[in-house]
């Protein structure tokens, strides 16, 4: 169990960007434990630090220069699911720092001029009305923003889509996204309720339907589910596999209720 959030050691280095960014990925998932559940978080052993920003490029050039001054190097790294290298920041003792920003269409390399950020079609949703989590590290307090719970769950749910011909890398990525959903929702009614309440506000409804369909196609017995289940049971050895399948069969109808509430206006 983590008594201190894994983002903590990064806070002195990224404090200048905190008011203008939202923490994403596994390090954000931990903070739902610290903030909403008010208890330690099981260690996800997440390597990457991911921040969502409203824009990259020249408007945030000063923070790019700050990172370089602090010993970070900009590197072009080939991602397993992308055709082109991705711009990341790296420091030997801290690891990789990644920025995501809204997709700006077909502009040529707009995210390499100034702060390097990766265009992402889902970031706009994750930046909407975030939670603020107060963290203390080495005697200083920091305000870290994380996405609304439902939006965080939804975006991970939209990424568990696979096809019959999906390669192992695609299946692994889908399993990792599903792990984050299980990590937050299987054992915590408070987070389930908050997620469903938030999803009622998310439009268009097509996104909720796609999330629901992805769960149906990657449920118990599939490779994606088995991969996520194995990792989850390593994190929570006291949990039985039947608890995950029980959650699954209860959660699918809950998404149907969300769609009904959206249609009827509550």
Residue-level pLDDT, tens digit, the chain, 266 residues: 888 899 999 999 999 999 999 999 999 999 999 999 999 999 887 888 999 998 777 778 899 999 999 999 999 887 666 667 888 999 999 999 999 998 766 555 556 678 888 888 899 999 999 999 999 999 999 999 999 999 999 999 999 988 877 788 889 999 999 999 999 999 999 999 999 999 999 999 999 999 999 999 999 999 999 999 999 999 999 999 999 999 999 999 999 999 999 988 75
pLDDT confidence of residue 77: 86
- Within 8 A by CB and 6+ apart from 259, the residues are 205, 208, 209, 212
pLDDT confidence of residue 215: 97
pLDDT confidence of residue 164: 76
pTM: 0.93
pLDDT confidence of residue 255: 97
Spatial distance between the Cα atoms of 251 and 225, rounded to a whole number of angstroms: 15
pLDDT confidence of residue 105: 61
Spatial distance between the Cα atoms of 246 and 243, rounded to a whole number of angstroms: 5
φ and ψ at 168, to 5 degrees?
Answer: -65, -35
pLDDT confidence of residue 188: 96
What does each C-alpha distance from 112 to 14, 54, 60, 94, 215 come to in angstroms?
Answer: 19, 15, 11, 22, 36
């Amino acid at each position: 169990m983590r008594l201190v959030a894994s983002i903590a050691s990064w806070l002195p280095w990224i404090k200048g960007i905190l008011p203008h960014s939202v923490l994403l990925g596994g390090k954000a998932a931990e903070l739902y434990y610290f903030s909403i559940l008010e208890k330690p978080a099981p260690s996800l052993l997440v390597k990457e630090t991911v921040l969502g920003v409203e824009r990259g490029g020249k408007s945030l050039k000063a923070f790019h220069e700050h990172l370089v001054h602090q010993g970070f190097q900009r590197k072009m790294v080939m991602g397993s699911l992308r055709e082109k290298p991705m711009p990341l920041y790296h420091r030997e003792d801290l690891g990789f720092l990644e920025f995501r920003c809204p997709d700006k269409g077909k502009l040529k390399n707009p995210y390499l001029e100034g702060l390097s950020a990766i265009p992402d079609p889902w970031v706009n949703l994750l930046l909407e009305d975030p939670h603020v989590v107060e963290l203390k590290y080495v005697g200083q307090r920091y305000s870290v923003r994380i996405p609304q719970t439902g939006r965080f769950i939804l975006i991970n749910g939209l990424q568990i889509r696979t096809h019959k011909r999906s390669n192992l890398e695609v299946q692994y990525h889908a399993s990792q996204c599903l792990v984050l959903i299980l990590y937050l929702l299987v054992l915590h009614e408070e987070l389930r309720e908050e997620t469903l309440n938030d999803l009622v506000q998310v439009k268009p409804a097509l996104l909720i339907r796609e999330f629901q369909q992805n769960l149906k196609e990657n449920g118990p017995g599939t490779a994606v589910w088995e991969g996520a289940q194995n990792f989850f049971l390593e994190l929570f050895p006291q949990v039985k596999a039947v608890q995950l399948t029980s959650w699954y069969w209860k959660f699918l109808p809950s998404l149907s209720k969300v769609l009904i509430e959206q249609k009827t206006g509550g």
